[in-house]
Amino acid sequence: MFKQYFQQAWAQLRQQPLISAVTVAGTALSIFLIMLVVMMQQVKVEPFSPESNRDRFLHVKWSTITKTEWGEGNTSNGPMSVRTAREVYGRMTTPEAVTAYTAFAESRPVNMPGQPAISVDVRETDYQFWTVFDFAFVDGKPYDQATFDAGLPVAVMTESVARHLFGTTQATGKEFLLAHAPYRVIGVVKDISTLAETAYGQLWIPYTSTDQIDNTWCDGLMGFVSCTILARDRSDFPAIREEANRRLDEFNKVIGENGYKFITRNRPYDQEKNVLAGGANWEPDVSAARRSRLIIYLILLIVPAINLSSMTQSRLRRRVSEIGVRRAFGCTRMELLGQILSENFIVTLLAGILGLLLSFLFASLGSDILFAQQYSMTLNPPTVNASILIHASTFGWALLFCFVLNLLSTGIPAWRASRMKIVEAINGKTH
């Protein structure tokens, strides 16, 4: 049956090449634009290494603190200090792991003694960072708790940095200068995309090897550190939030003696909500963001569907006699309606595949424009590969949009064709 519908659809395309070309191009453009919108959202929430556990992440990217003497409604916003991260989130028992790291990857010079320096993006972390995020090590291993507690000057770097410094990725044990301070390589990982915003870096070091613990403000309560919590399962989210709120209340009692108080704004946030949290002084509205995307999808579907429906009606006018003959030989209205919808769905699907391929191509070649981050401390452009873009859900969305577009553009013309009187149809009348 499918083969028959495919052959009929292909024959219709060949009989009316101009109308067919416009139909395919219009459908492909619609799917192309929709899939770009979908991909721009997917790269922020879909799991890929080293953030393969995004569906189990809860984030505390920012904090909000107030003080009695500042007056009602006045707050200070930004990342938290190491002390706050440890006392509120680091001691939690419900999650599988909790990591604290500098909120931004900061560019710093690295070089070999006597050689010119290059800038690399450095992120300071704790040892749990390597449990929460799944980096692919090509040499060595991450620093452990003993190394972290001792504050040893060790580093994990990407392949590209290792090749530039040492000419090889087998760099474990080699020494280099980071901002003129000697560090030793403990591990080398594959390069990662800046789209893995939480884990991204080119060089990772223990924050105990620097002055990050003392890099604070608001009497040591605010600093430059964010937290990511790894749940054992998404079903643990409510329990994790309950424990986080309880520990924050306890911490507020301690700092309340000096007039301070942290405001939760319903943190920690899951991955979807966290990517919307552009600032610390407001809570993102996930429902509003979803509605906005839905409106965009509908516009990108309805506008071409209106134009494509006229194309479909034009093709059906040329098939009036054929429709009449089918009806005369016993084809029911529902069978005729199903045939027309099926034939047009095949055409829509072929055009949708073309649009999907175009969107992959554009996303790969134009990633520095399409996926540019609004706020970033690094000048490195985002890189995109197939593992980031190609998911089963991507094809599922494309298939869904093709189906909806087919119904919108073909449904009414097909229904009208199925309601035509047999004699009038055979005689070629369209009214």
What tens digit of pLDDT does each residue of 357-380 get? Answer: 888 888 777 666 666 555 555 556
Tell me the whole-structure pTM to 2 decimals.
0.81
Average pLDDT over residues 4-18: 61
pLDDT of residue 117: 93
C-alpha 356/C-alpha 37 separation (Å) is: 12
User: Within a domain: residue 211?
Assistant: yes
**Are 297 and 382 within one domain?**
yes
**Are 202 and 244 within one domain?**
yes
**Are 91 and 42 within one domain?**
no
Q: Tell me the three state secondary structure of residue 367.
A: helix
Average pLDDT of the chain, as a whole number: 84
pLDDT of residue 273: 95
Judged against a pLDDT cut of 80, whether residue 124 lies above it is answered with: yes
The string of pLDDT tens digits covering residues 317-340 is: 665 656 666 666 666 667 666 676
**Are 347 and 403 within one domain?**
yes
Question: What band does 393 get if pLDDT is binned at 50, 70 and 90?
Answer: confident
**Are 323 and 414 within one domain?**
yes
Q: Tell me the three state secondary structure of residue 224.
A: coil
- What's the count of helices (H) and strands (E) in the chain, helices before strands? 15, 14
Q: How large a percentage of the chain has pLDDT more than 70?
A: 75
Domain boundary among 266, 301, 327: 266
Average pLDDT over residues 92-119: 94
Number of domains in the chain: 2
Among all chains, which residue has been given the structure tokens 């449904």? Answer: 411
C-alpha dihedral sign at 200, 206, 208, 211: negative
pLDDT of residue 301: 78
Sorted by sequence, the CB contacts under 8 Å of residue 255 that are 6+ apart come out as 221, 261, 262
Omega of the bond leading into 50 within 30 degrees of 0 (cis)? yes
User: Within a domain: residue 275?
Assistant: no
User: Within a domain: residue 54?
Assistant: no
User: Within a domain: residue 249?
Assistant: yes
CB contact at 8 A, 371 and 384? yes
Q: Which domain holds residue 417?
A: 2-49+286-426
**Are 172 and 262 within one domain?**
yes
Judged against a pLDDT cut of 60, whether residue 408 lies above it is answered with: yes
**Are 67 and 40 within one domain?**
no
Q: Tell me the three state secondary structure of residue 344.
A: helix
pLDDT of residue 347: 74
pLDDT of residue 219: 94
pLDDT of residue 255: 96
pLDDT of residue 407: 72
Sorted by sequence, the CB contacts under 8 Å of residue 235 that are 6+ apart come out as none
The string of pLDDT tens digits covering residues 238-277 is: 999 999 999 999 999 999 999 999 999 999 999 999 999 8
User: Within a domain: residue 348?
Assistant: yes
Instruction: Name the token pair of 399.
Output: 């298939």
Average pLDDT over residues 12-38: 74
Counting beta carbons within 10 angstroms of the beta carbon of residue 167, is it exposed (0 to 12), middle (13 to 18) or buried (19 or more)?
exposed
The string of pLDDT tens digits covering residues 271-321 is: 999 999 878 888 999 999 999 988 988 887 787 777 666 666 666 666 565
Quote the strand ranges of 17-105, DSSP E.
Answer: 57-60, 63-67, 75-78, 97-102
The number of C-alpha atoms within 13 Å of 71 and in the hemisphere containing its C-beta is 1
Element (H, E) at 272: helix 271-276
220 or 42, which is more confident? Answer: 220
User: Within a domain: residue 272?
Assistant: no
Q: What is the largest CA-CA distance in the chain?
A: 93
User: Within a domain: residue 274?
Assistant: no
User: Within a domain: residue 279?
Assistant: no
DSSP states of 409-429 as a string?
A: HHHHHHHHHHTS-HHHHHTT-
195 or 140, which is more confident? Answer: 140
Average pLDDT over residues 340-366: 77
Of 212, 153, 211, 208, which Cα lies nearest the Cα of 186?
Answer: 153
Of 410, 401, 388, which Cα lies nearest the Cα of 46?
Answer: 388
**Are 13 and 107 within one domain?**
no
Q: How large a percentage of the chain has pLDDT more than 90?
A: 52
Among all chains, which residue has been given the structure tokens 């028992």? Answer: 93
196 or 208, which is more confident? Answer: 208
C-alpha 359/C-alpha 235 separation (Å) is: 35
**Are 44 and 89 within one domain?**
no
**Are 21 and 82 within one domain?**
no
Sorted by sequence, the CB contacts under 8 Å of residue 73 that are 6+ apart come out as none
**Are 73 and 197 within one domain?**
yes
**Are 237 and 292 within one domain?**
no
Q: Tell me the three state secondary structure of residue 421.
A: coil
Average pLDDT over residues 86-104: 96
Q: What are phi and psi of 48, to 5 degrees?
A: -160, 155
DSSP states of 288-316 as a string?
A: HHHHHHHHHHHHHHHHHHHHHHHHHHHHH
Element (H, E) at 39: helix 17-45
b/e per residue 118-156 (b: at least 16 CB within 10 A) = eebbbbbbbbbbbebbebeeebbebbeeebbeeebbbbb
pLDDT of residue 400: 76
The string of pLDDT tens digits covering residues 58-78 is: 999 999 999 999 988 899 999
